[in-house]
Structure 1
Amino acid sequence: MSAEKNILHPRNKHRSRYDFPELIKSLPALHSFVGMNAHGGESIDFSDPIAVKMLNKALLKHFYGIETWDIPENYLCPPIPGRADYIHYMADLLANGNKGVVPKGKFIKGLDIGVGANCIYPIIGHQEYGWSFVGSDIDTGAIKAAKAIIAANSQLEKAISCRQQSNKLHIFKGIVKPGEIFDFTMCNPPFHASAAEAQSGTKRKLQNLGKHKGKDTVLNFGGQNSELWYEGGEVAFIRKMIDESTGIADQCLWFSSLVSKSANLSFIYGALRSADVAEVKTIEMAQGQKISRFVAWTFMEPAEQRSWVQGR
């Protein structure tokens, strides 16, 4: 039995180390990317974007029944264990208002801001809990790729839809329709403030993996500008999200966003106080090799939250 990754959520299917023989059974093409690491265990070269993508294909097929998944070159290839954690902790947040029971089924609806080409949150959310999703993105290529994944997997077709954000100045505006309701929103915001900062971050990541050769670095770990950076960085993006959430305060139970740096929390809490939200929760969880967290907020008082849940 492999040692458990105790920092991951108890329901996370990826608590144990990767079982490469089993993953290769699910996706034989993974075999050529697996070798022995310095510790004498099986692994892949995590600095190789093709190997990482192949691992993701195997994980999605083995654990979530996704037969066909692919993303274009230079788009963000997500670490699935950490992405699954956000889904499971969101499920716990919804359970808190539902007498401790995680609500399941298509009537629970989520909005993924920045769904990306990988469509990972809607896939895991649907396959684990049966939830339905809308995924939004400003990038045309990302929307096209996400739609292709949905179309290629019949179990996703009626559960997930994608909408392109046509105005880079907006987040919820132009995406959430009048009268439309969501039980939650989620977001992995662009956390760099510029393209140069994003490039520097990727170089550091490669150095940490021992693969930096002094050459110009390709953004293997997250390709498109809209995925990696936003003017003003993570805080500016989340502040904009908070500001726009006030306009649809009665259309969503819980708004949320990942926050990559704990130092940013005080600025985000300040924006939430200014927005006069009813309740804020900060939930810590694992994201890859580090501890991350998401901040969730609602404009509904406890009685309104109970009424929302009863109406679902």
Structure 2
Amino acid sequence: MTIKTALHPRNKHRHGYDFATLTKIHALLSAFIIKNQYNQQDTIDFSNANAVKALNAALLKKHYQIEHWDFPQGYLCPPIPGRVDYIHYLADLLKESKVLIAENDKAIGSKISVLDIGTGATCIYPMLGASEYDWSFVASDIDPISIKAANANINANPKIKQQISCRLQNNSTKIFEGIIKPNEFYHLTLCNPPFHKSLTDAATGTNRKWKNLNKGKTADKKENKADTLNFGGQKAELWCQGGELAFIRQMINESKIFQSQVLWFTCLVSNKDHLSKIKLSLKKAKASEIKVFNMAQGQKISRFIAWRFVKSDLNTK
């Protein structure tokens, strides 16, 4: 198979998917295997949410020893290769900050603490980070259903159960406040923020994604809305007042309060045009260091921004 060179060098999905092995590991996936019309290789219909969910479950079993993974219908179904890329680049960030041991680029697992903002029903970042690097996580969300589903996933996987705990954010206007407790220290925070400014924008974006996956076909109006928007997610996953830029600016403002308790704050930035405004906000907040990491999955380019307020290589608190 062609190597997906855009993915991180340590990403286990650079060589594509071995569907023959994956279907043996997760039998439910076999029902969704089809032939690619161009080269007749095995694939799935990536516009079929159930097919993507089955593929993800198989990948998690094969590569990350995660035996159980589920989430309620209508919640975001994350692409595993892209999600784990973020984790690998975060590991690189820690290595640059001299927080990693040299052997195999592995973190000192019992000492690396990470906060995931908006973990979602799948709790995907903590599960991947705990499996790949033995990191410990606090996973937060404002949605009680997401927290319940995340806890179910964690409790069903004994190998990582002790490394992840969930916290419900009771104040939808806050991000770190109410989650980071006094005397806690995190080496990293990570976040996949809500992108859209309104429900209307979110619905438009979801419909566009659905049509792209279906090669221009439009959704049948008679279809169940939850099925049609299966890739769209719930309100908290999709949109907030002011969209992505407002959310990250709020995160920056709160990060100043907790600057002594976090080594690196990080957040995905979907819209590259937002970067200059975010950097300006960080300079106004007097961040001592700002980094941008570019990532790619296929033709899709993504990125995350990282900032901190301490100049030393390692906060020894």
Please, what TM-score do these two structures have when normalized by structure 1?
0.95
Unaligned stretches of 5+ residues in structure 1: none
Cα RMSD after superposing both structures: 1.4
Q: Distance in 2 between matches of 1:99 and 1:58?
A: 32
User: Helix, strand or coil for the counterpart of 1:106?
Assistant: helix
Q: Distance in 1 between matches of 2:126 and 2:258?
A: 21
Deviations 1:238-274 (A, max 9, x none): 0000000000000000000000011010110111011
Q: Which residue of 2 aligns with 1:93?
A: 93
Moved more, 164-173 or 17-26: 17-26
Does residue 51 in structure 1 map to residue 51 in structure 2?
yes
Unaligned stretches of 5+ residues in structure 2: none
**Residue identity in the other structure for 1:213:** A
Q: Which residue of 1 aligns with 2:77?
A: 77
Change (3 A) 1:288 1:239: farther
Structure 1 residue 213: Cα displacement: 3.3
**Residue identity in the other structure for 1:150:** I
Q: Distance in 1 between matches of 2:168 and 2:77?
A: 20
Change (3 A) 1:81 1:180: same
User: Helix, strand or coil for the counterpart of 2:313?
Assistant: helix
**Residue identity in the other structure for 1:155:** K
Q: Is the 8 A contact 2:118 2:191 kept in 1?
A: yes
Identity rate, percent? 53
Q: Structure 1 runs of 4+ off > 6 angstroms? A: none
**Residue identity in the other structure for 2:82:** G
Structure 1 residue 214: Cα displacement: 4.8
Does residue 138 in structure 1 map to residue 148 in structure 2?
no
Q: Which residue of 1 aligns with 2:26?
A: 27
1:1-312 equivalences under 5 Å are 2-39=1-38, 40-98=40-98, 101=102, 102=105, 103-210=107-214, 211-215=217-221, 218-287=228-297, 289-301=299-311, 304-306=312-314, 308=315, 311=316
Q: Is the 8 A contact 1:184 1:252 kept in 2?
A: yes
Q: Is the 8 A contact 2:203 2:232 kept in 1?
A: no
Change (3 A) 1:99 1:198: closer
Structure 1 residue 3: Cα displacement: 1.2
Report how many aligned residue pairs link the two structures.
306
Structure 1 residue 106: Cα displacement: 2.1
Q: Distance in 1 between matches of 2:166 and 2:82?
A: 22
Q: Distance in 1 between matches of 2:108 and 2:261?
A: 19
**Residue identity in the other structure for 1:148:** A
Deviations 1:175-209 (A, max 9, x none): 00011000000000000111111111111111112
User: Helix, strand or coil for the counterpart of 1:162?
Assistant: strand
Q: Is the 8 A contact 1:140 1:164 kept in 2?
A: yes
Q: Distance in 1 between matches of 2:26 and 2:121?
A: 21
